Amino acid sequence: MAEQGPIVFCTGGGCTAKLGAGVLSRILEKLPRGEKDPDLLVGYDSRDDAAVYRITEDIALVQTVDFFPPMVDDPYTFGQIAAANALSDIYAMGGTAKTALNIVCFPESMDLNILGKILTGGAEKVEEAEAVLAGGHSIQDADIKYGLSVTGVIHPDQVLANQNCHPGDMLILTKPLGVGIVCTASRMKDVREADYELAVKSMTTLNKYASALAGNYETHACTDVTGFGFLVHLNELLGENCSARIFSDAVPFIPGCPAYVEEFYITAAGQRNRNHMKGKVEFQKESFFMEELLFDPQTSGGLLLSVQKEDAEGLLSEIRDLGLPAAIVGEVTEKEPLKILVE
């Protein structure tokens, strides 16, 4: 049996491993559509977090799958993060997680105790979600990859899909940005322990609790901020009918990020996100740090909620009571030639 040791970092661990948004869009556009099923309420054509399929007048299934290589050294922590990230897609739709299946890629030559710790971390997050771990599938691979396929339920009339923002809505972000930057600094062995711990705490926190609170308010749309970064996910949330102003001074982030960006601890995925948003976003203030932060790929990031203005402060207060550094980070506006203005 191989000697046990920490997980070896992949060059694109966590959600930085995602295909670029532009490349993915071009592939999906070419897929055959077939006849539209009226019970498929949300499919891949709307760039949402999960699929939603109506099975009765009162019940719809919410289905998602997410897996990736490690972005942290500790196997147990990696399992927690990967599971929290996969479960998040259910919560971003406003749903309740019910069952989960493990997805495992693992080298035969590696100590199986490492795999055991990964699966334990994942199983504990599924338990916290009050879902059932029902099985899974594994294959031999050169590199470790782990995640979940998750099924949830929701009432068909309560789906929080993309592209349903209303002008005048306020935008609430429930977790700090910058975990991609921090993980890059960690890979370079140049990260402050306090920043790393904050990143891990953020990535292992389920979006279950913030999502449940959002259901008590007039929330019009929701997504979770992951590998495409804040701005690409916001662009998808807005759809074709709205624009947005972002209050850069209000955006929460992990404290050490400005120093790490100054050292160019940034990701290739962040630059792909920047390229995808060319011509769609404008920064009023000249700040390389803020640009990189808003393009930074997040792993198990927070929810980005489009909430009726009158409800925003109340919802924000309740989310902060959970211990999350949530903030109102922008406002949805009528459609303008420029999609997103960062003030």
Which residues are tagged catalytic? 15
Report the alpha-carbon distance of residue 206 to residue 204 in Å, rounded: 6
Provide DSSP, 108-120: TTS-HHHHHHHHH
For residue 15, the 8-state DSSP code is: G
In one-letter notation, the amino acid at residue 9 is F
Contacts of 197 (CB under 8 A, 6+ apart): none
Contacts of 48 (CB under 8 A, 6+ apart): 42, 93, 161, 162, 223
Positive or negative, the CA dihedral 13, 14, 16, 18 is positive
Integer-rounded Cα radius of gyration of the chain: 19
- Helix crossing, 268-276 with 229-238: angle to 10°? 30
Contact present, 228 and 281 (Cβ < 8 Å): no
**CA 307 from centre of chain:** 18
Report the alpha-carbon distance of residue 148 to residue 243 in Å, rounded: 33
- From residue 25, give the alpha-carbon distance in Å to each of 19, 22, 30, 267, 276: 10, 5, 9, 21, 10
Report the alpha-carbon distance of residue 189 to residue 66 in Å, rounded: 28
CB burial readout 307-318, b (16+ within 10 A) else e = beeebbeebbeb
Report the alpha-carbon distance of residue 78 to residue 145 in Å, rounded: 10
